[in-house]
Amino acid sequence: MAGQRSRLPFSPWHLVLIPAAIILLFPFAWLLVTSIETPAEALHFPPILTPHVIRLRNYPDALAAAPFGRFFLNSAIVAVTTVICNLVLCALAGYAFARFRFLGRGVLFVLIMTTLMVPFQVTMIPQFIITKWIGVHLLAAAGIGHIGALIVPNAATAFGVFFLRQFFRTLPIEYEEAARVDGASRLAVLWRIVLPLSAPALATLAALTFLDSWNSFLWPLIAINSTSAMTLPLGLATFQGAHSTEWTLLMAGNVMSLAPMMAIFLVAQRYFVRSVAATGLTGT
């Protein structure tokens, strides 16, 4: 069974996956239902899951409440750029950590990992000051108040380096060695041999990095000082007041914010299934 590709519609695995999917999607269902309710029905506890009145106008109302088109664009620019930068920089670094021996490799990797170990609440003030300095002395577009400030600190993450390092180490080294014997440069080996074999990992990293960037709230809150540079989570926060929250609009906004992430994932999925077998590695 493990090696078979089952096309039977009644595979027993569905009996496991359907309840699992219900549990996984339940909050999403609640989110959706709340987004099409009227405030009178949304402000219920326990929540009403079968509303009597449907209000689709929540969606255009949410969009009109703040310049969401702008927020969406900002979020998209930041997320896409962050993903591309991460894929490139983390692949380079991850590959070096996985395959090269160089002086200080171990120490550097440990240092990179340690940056994951201090919570943001503590590092955000120094990070703010550093970002401000960069904006003043190096590149204005990367300084406080610009969306570059949201990209540059996250252009390479310890997560990406760690993840790709682990993945690259699982690849059989023979291909890379064969290519080196053929005279390919290390960069060529990475670009032409390793990365194509790493499609699932790269797709995973892209999807996760996109998610992280798209949903990022606290750093953009700290770094952005004008409405025109706000990202989507900051925009959604405009529905949350000190004492009262416009739940229906907020949930509508959340659903619209989820859509691109789900779209990215649906696209990335096709790369998840590209198995090593497809590239002819099942040698004799």
Q: Does 53 bind another protein (CB under 8 A)?
A: no
Q: Which of residues 210-239 bind another protein (CB under 8 A)?
A: 211, 215, 218, 221-222, 224-230, 233-234, 236-239
Instruction: Tokens 């959604």: give the residue.
Output: 236
Rg (CA), the chain: 23
Nearest distance in Å: CB 56, another protein: 19
Q: Residue 41 CB, nearest distance to another protein (Å)? A: 8
Q: Is 23 in the site for another protein (CB under 8 A)?
A: yes
- Our CB check for another protein shows the closer of 56 and 275 to be 275
* Nearer Cβ to another protein (36/203): 203
- Token pair belonging to 104: 């200080």
Q: Does 45 bind another protein (CB under 8 A)?
A: yes
* Region 116-145 residues binding another protein, contact defined as CB under 8 A: 116-119, 121-132, 139-145
Q: What are phi and psi of 36, to 5 degrees?
A: -115, 15
- Please tell me whether residue 180 binds another protein under the rule CB under 8 A: yes
**From CA 58, how far away is CA 70, in angstroms rounded?**
19
Phi, psi of 216 (to 5 degrees): -65, 130
Among 14, 19, 54, 60, binds another protein (CB under 8 A): 14
Shorter beta-carbon distance to another protein: residue 56 or 182: 182
Q: Which of 62, 112, 206, 252 binds another protein (CB under 8 A)?
A: 112
Rounded CA-CA distance 49/55 in Å is: 14
Minimum distance of another protein from residue 54's CB (angstroms): 17
**Of positions 167, 209, 216, 252, contacts another protein by CB under 8 A:** 167
54 lies in the binding site for another protein (CB under 8 A)? no
- CB 22 → another protein: shortest distance, Å? 9
Q: How far is CA 235 from the centre of its chain?
A: 18
Judged by CB under 8 A, the number of residues near another protein is 174
Other Cβ atoms closer than 10 A to 179: 18
Smallest CA-to-CA distance from 255 within 239, 243, 270 is with 239
Binding-site string for another protein from residue 55 to residue 94, where x marks contact by CB under 8 A and - marks none: -----------x-------x--x---x--xx--xxx-xx-
Restricted to residues 260-279, the positions that interact with another protein (CB under 8 A) are 261-262, 265-266, 269, 272-277, 279
What DSSP string describes 93-151? HHHHHHH---TTHHHHHHHHHHTTSS-HHHHHHHHHHHHHHHHHHT-GGGSTTSTHHHH
Contacting residue, 50, 52, 101, 137, with another protein by CB under 8 A: 101
- Residue from 156, 206, 209, 248 binding another protein (CB under 8 A): 156
Q: Which residues pair with 54 in a beta bridge?
A: 37
Q: At what angle do helices 68-99 and 247-272 cross, to 10 degrees?
A: 40
Q: Which is nearer to another protein, 36 or 193 (CB)?
A: 193
- For residue 239, count CB atoms less than 10 angstroms from its CB and return exposed for 0-12, middle for 13-18, buried for 19 or more: buried
